[in-house]
Structure 1
């Protein structure tokens, strides 16, 4: 058998082996259809209108309720309250809170305010493999612990908490949001 015939005989097997080792298919495949982007709901699930920014008094009321809940559990938290555009209105950093928490709390609050939804929504999307949210805005936080603040059916700001687990942060935020109801 000539060397040319030997090479021709082994090329398909060699190509398949290389493809298997690289994790790609030996033949490029085009999907028959594009993956769903979540379907078309009848209306936006995040259509709460924006209202006038909350007052400093209301921001402090939410902040104090969240801080009291964190203290009750012994969870050192950073807590940020923003206006509807995500700008800081009130802030507290409890003793022994990790140094990264203040910026994370503010980013969670800003995400909740600007996108009109609980930051857990982004977390759930990432967990389900839908990482598109990372392409929307580089400051999006996909972690529980950011809640819109709603008064009179309108978003007046948001609260973000950081320092514990995502669920702990969310519980603290919920206490702050509930204080304004």
Structure 2
């Protein structure tokens, strides 16, 4: 009985020390990780607007919906939406920039976990070019933007339309 009590105290002490060490390591690395993530995010935003300073990208809203992860206001340009949609497998993360009238300024895929070939076409130049200048609230873009890849392209198009509707309803 005495041995069990000693082992219990010893294990509790070891667990407390390990927890403290992990907490300390997390407090030291968390700011560096957050800074690196912010830099990577701004670098991705600069793909759309390379002519504006970093300070022009201001986070307007976060976690607006399951699809809209962040909304960035870009001084003098409009808004960029960071989106995550589900697709055939892992879905697509992307940025879509909209002007004040709801037209797509640009679209940049960040990641895509869908089938290589058809599903990954939402990351390619022809898809991006087809979206540029399209009215996101109108019928200029549709779910069949990529023939045969509607499982991947449909959620992306629906996400862009959701962003445009959110912008029209909540952002001016």
TM-score calculated relative to the size of structure 1: 0.29
More strand by share: 2
More helix by share: 2
